[in-house]
Amino acid sequence: MAILSQESGLLFIQTPHTGSTAVARLLIRRSGGVRLPARDQRAINPRKVVPHHHATLRQLMDGDLITAEQRGRLIVAAGVRNPFDLLVSEFIRTTSATQTRSDGSVIRKPAAPAEFPAWLRWRLGARLQGRLRGRRYAALRDHTEGVDEVVRFEQLQEDFDALMKRVGAAPMEVPVINATVGRQRDRRHYSAYFGPDERQAVESVYAGWLDRFGYSFEPG
């Protein structure tokens, strides 16, 4: 999903686990933003499927929800976050999710592994088709491809302020919402989750992000 603010001339791509939900809600409430695609909206191009959650710029344009002419008039931004920290938050959120059965008992919802090393292999590992082609890791969906600006999770307010200045909009305070509950309980630095093999896997899959945005593995 993305947020289109015609008022500000801004398209904000929602990257998972980067604070993008808070930014999206703010743009909707204060800057005339609309969800793209809308909940009941399909791609104009019927041969293309545009996901409702976390669509990339390319997917929006391939589905003709954003035209090349529109793109030329917009500032496009997306959230980014240190991949090591991002994956720990995703792991905690995934493995903390529960559902209540009809008898009232509570079970862990996902079928994903409950231990981080196994979860990371499951999360980053190539699926069957990729393995048949000799790939060890799955291809990364890059939500920052083609964007003009990034908003770093680590300095969310500062980067959002700079983005608002670029599009000529008034400053707005980004609210703290949708925080990963497990991270509030577990205050360990993300590095505590990683051994050498896990670190190597992330460095392989996210090599482009690490180089492009200057992220690295930092011991806590």
Per-domain residue ranges for the chain?
2-213
**CB under 8 Å to 199, separation ≥6 — which residues?**
84, 217
Find all residues with CB under 8 Å of 172, minimum gap 6, and list them.
Answer: 26, 30, 31, 160, 164
One-character DSSP codes across 71-97? HHH-EEEEEE--HHHHHHHHHHHHHH-
- Omega prior to 37 cis, within 30 of 0: yes
Q: State the CATH architecture for 2-213.
A: 3-Layer(aba) Sandwich (3.40)
- pTM for this entry: 0.83
What local confidence, expressed as pLDDT, does residue 46 receive?
58
Query: In which residue are the tokens 């409702």 written?
Result: 52
Q: What is the mean pLDDT of each run of 10 residues along the chain (220 residues)?
A: 95 94 95 84 60 83 92 97 94 72 52 84 72 64 93 97 97 80 68 96 92 94
- The per-residue pLDDT for 96 is 75
Q: State how far the Cα of 64 lies from the Cα of 206, in Å rounded to an integer.
A: 29
Burial class for 68, CB neighbours closer than 10 Å (0-12, 13-18, 19+): exposed
